[in-house]
């Protein structure tokens, strides 16, 4: 599969490559990954202080204090996929997962019948997702998180949800899991915090790989049935 990869706020594509290296290695070399940098210059995410050089450049996709930036991020992502795609799936961390999940809902609402047959992505892997927002309200300059209780299951492709039990934003990741179809999602909660299991979390890496493999297999099954 060919995956589009979206990093977290205050990081960059190189950091996301490093974060996912152990899991990507575990999945084998028959997948390809395209890492896309955010457009907004940003300060380094606090969890990376002392880990990466502060002299590097860091980016975000959106500024939550400026709802228009959320709209721009969706439009820019749509343009990128149109020009550089198609992609079979998306891997996304934190803010990147927020953008990816919101984008999937946005595209599904544009043409529900088409997205059931030929969705924007066949599957999605969300690491420590930071909510998802109602895309219709973004165009009205309103920011409302999507939830199972208010919106139901609005993402119908196979999804993997991986987050840490010590993550202070774990409720947000769980909320994104809630709006995804229960029959085609797999969840793994690792013992860490707001991070992606790496080489020092060998057991969690193996469990993450198994979770993602299940979702990829589901994506193939669903695609062949369509």
As annotated, the active-site residues are 94, 167, 194
Would you state the pLDDT for residue 53?
A: 80
Q: What pTM does this model have?
A: 0.95
- Decide if pLDDT at 34 tops 90: yes
Would you state the pLDDT for residue 52?
A: 82
- Decide if pLDDT at 154 tops 90: yes
Would you state the pLDDT for residue 51?
A: 80
Radius of gyration of the chain (CA): 16
Would you state the pLDDT for residue 117?
A: 63
Would you state the pLDDT for residue 94?
A: 98
Across the range 65-82, mean pLDDT stands at 96
């Amino acid at each position: 599969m060919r995956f589009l990869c979206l990093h977290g706020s205050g990081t960059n594509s190189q950091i996301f490559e490093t974060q996912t290296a152990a899991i990507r290695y575990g999945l084998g070399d028959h997948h390809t990954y395209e890492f896309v940098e955010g457009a907004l210059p940003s300060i380094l995410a606090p969890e990376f202080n002392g880990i990466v050089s502060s002299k590097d450049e860091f980016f975000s996709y959106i500024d939550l204090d400026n709802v228009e930036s959320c709209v721009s991020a969706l439009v820019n992502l749509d343009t990128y996929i149109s020009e550089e795609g198609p992609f079979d799936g998306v891997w996304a961390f934190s803010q990147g997962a927020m953008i990816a999940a919101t984008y999937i809902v946005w595209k599904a609402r544009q043409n529900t019948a088409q997205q059931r047959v030929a969705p924007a992505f066949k599957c999605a892997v969300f690491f420590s997702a930071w909510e998802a927002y109602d895309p219709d309200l973004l165009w009205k300059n309103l920011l409302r998180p999507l939830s199972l209780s208010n919106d139901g299951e609005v993402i119908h492709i196979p999804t993997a949800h991986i987050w840490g039990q010590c993550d202070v934003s774990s409720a947000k990741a769980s909320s994104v899991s809630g709006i995804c179809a229960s029959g085609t999602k797999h969840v793994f909660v690792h013992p860490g915090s707001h991070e992606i299991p790496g080489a020092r979390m060998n057991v969690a890496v193996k469990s993450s790989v198994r979770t993602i493999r299940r979702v990829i297999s589901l994506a193939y099954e669903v695609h062949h049935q369509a």
